[in-house]
Amino acid sequence: MNTKTTRRCFLRQSAQAAAVTAAVSTMGGVHISAAANPTKVNLGVIGCGGIMGHHVSGLVSRREDVVFNWLCDVDPGQFNRIDSMISGFQKSSPQRTSKYEDVIRDKSVDAIIIGTPHHWHAPIAIDAMSEGKDVYIEKPISHVYSEGHAVIEASKKYGRIVQQGSQMRNSPVTRKAEALLKEGIIGDVKVAKAWTAEMRGVTKPVPDSAIPSGVDYDRWLGPAPKRPFNKHRFHGSWRMYRDYGNGEIGDDGIHDLDMACWGLGVDTVPSQITARGNRMMLHGHASEYPDNMVVTYEYPDGRLLVYENYPFTSYGIHGFDNGNVFYGTEGYMIFSRRGAFSVFLGPKGKPGPTEGKEIRGSRGYAEHMAEFLNSVRSRDRKTRSAADIAHNSCALVHFGEIAYRTEGRLNFNHDTQLFDNCDEANAMLTKKYRDPYTIRSVT
């Protein structure tokens, strides 16, 4: 829950030092041209699907001081949509490629935004950092637990900035709520709850089919096992499969789990995990994941975090389809990444402060990206969703899934970084990578 209380001061007091440091760097882009153009950030866009459109359109509409040098996607059909957003923003269109290596080896590129399926997040990020690039990684930063450690080590080894796409960390709503929690308005926070409560429909399985024209399907699979092409395992619905995604808990759930970690104030991973779930409603669904799940995490100091996923409600919980409750010794706070919070105090639940209409609905996209870009310029690596912070939240995704798939209840040993007495669960902390798409070692 650390805030950037010294960050603006740092930027004011050390702008000249940062420019000098950047100017002598050998990493290219803003790092070597800082004296002439200290603010421009040269970007590579990797993965041109849905969320990337949001990022690019936001950067363009805000007239951010960036240049889009590259667009990268294995499906050339994705390029025109993103390129049309950039049209008129800069003098020339970005270069295009299906190979992310072309982007990260370009010395003029300062940073990349990764919006691929989850199974590509860590391998691309680590390779990019090894080439001197800072990385904005869509959530979750890891497909399996071990990748989180690798991203942290790469950030340290190569001195790179990492920002996970947990945008609510930088929302004005979050900042206001954080100040209240730090003041102790609800006392000591002992329990946090996160939920995903949205209606979901059944996606029926379909037969395998031909690879779409122009698609580099082998590279799309990348480190995942070799399989025939199936449209459900491609754009959008890849999230239903363990080869590429992390299910509901790792798609929408990670946002709310991350805010639960923030509200609870934890800076480690849990020591005990209990998970239950099943196929409650979506019978015949193509997904490999349950359609509902309840996971309880206990931390070493006894604090609890509970995640609930319900596919059968359009009314949400406390009025929100995605949200949190932080239970303190003096009251509780209902918080939602939809941009709202409410405080209730004492034994009668007396209403307390709310987010206020002036910032209601803010979700932090602009502020979160701005923090990343400013960190690229200043070399301040302590972003609000840096690799270590992101890893602690992503661990909840992985631990919940592992507990559900194995014994239902697991104890995690912080010293060994393994589960006690469960070889099956420990095997799921990592995975096999298909040659030649292996993950770079950073040890």
The pLDDT of residue 314: 83
Which of 242-246, 275-279, 312-316 has the lowest average pLDDT?
312-316
pLDDT attached to residue 202:
94
Q: Give the pLDDT score at 3.
A: 36
Residue 26 has pLDDT above 90, yes or no: no
Is 80 exceeded by the pLDDT of residue 24? no
Kindly report the average pLDDT of the chain as a whole number: 92
More confident residue, 312 or 124: 124
Could you tell me which of 427, 421, 420, 441 has the C-alpha nearest to residue 398?
427
pLDDT at 4 over 60: no
Mean pLDDT of 23-45: 57
Q: What percent of the chain has pLDDT over 90?
A: 88
Q: Which domains are seen in the chain, by residue range?
A: 7-169+366-386 (3.40.50.720), 170-199+215-362+392-427 (3.30.360.10)
Strands 292-298 and 272-278, by their bridges, are antiparallel
pTM value? 0.91
Closest CA to 105 of 132, 139, 86: 132
pLDDT at 5: 34
- Could you tell me the pLDDT band of residue 10, with boundaries at 50, 70 and 90? very low
Q: E-assigned strands of 20-102? A: 41-46, 66-72, 95-97
CA distances from 339 to 170, 198, 321, 346, 365 (A): 11, 17, 12, 24, 11
pLDDT classification of 423: cutoffs 50, 70, 90? very high
pLDDT digits 0-9 by tens, 125-143:
999 999 999 999 999 999 9
Structure tokens at 404: 């559900």
Q: How far is CA 138 from CA 85, 101, 419, in A?
A: 20, 18, 27
Q: What is the pLDDT of residues 383-412, one digit of tens each?
A: 999 999 999 999 999 999 999 999 999 999
DSSP 316-327: -BTTBSEEEEEE
Tokens of 283: 């019978």
Residue 27 has pLDDT above 70, yes or no: no
Question: Does the structure show a pLDDT above 60 at 198?
Answer: yes
For 292-342, write each residue's pLDDT tens digit. Answer: 999 999 999 999 999 999 988 888 999 999 999 999 999 999 999 999 999
pLDDT over 50 (residue 17): no
State mean pLDDT over 363-369: 97
% of the chain at pLDDT higher than 70: 91
What is the pLDDT, as a whole number, of residue 8? 35
Q: What pLDDT does residue 312 have? A: 83
Higher pLDDT, 34 or 231: 231
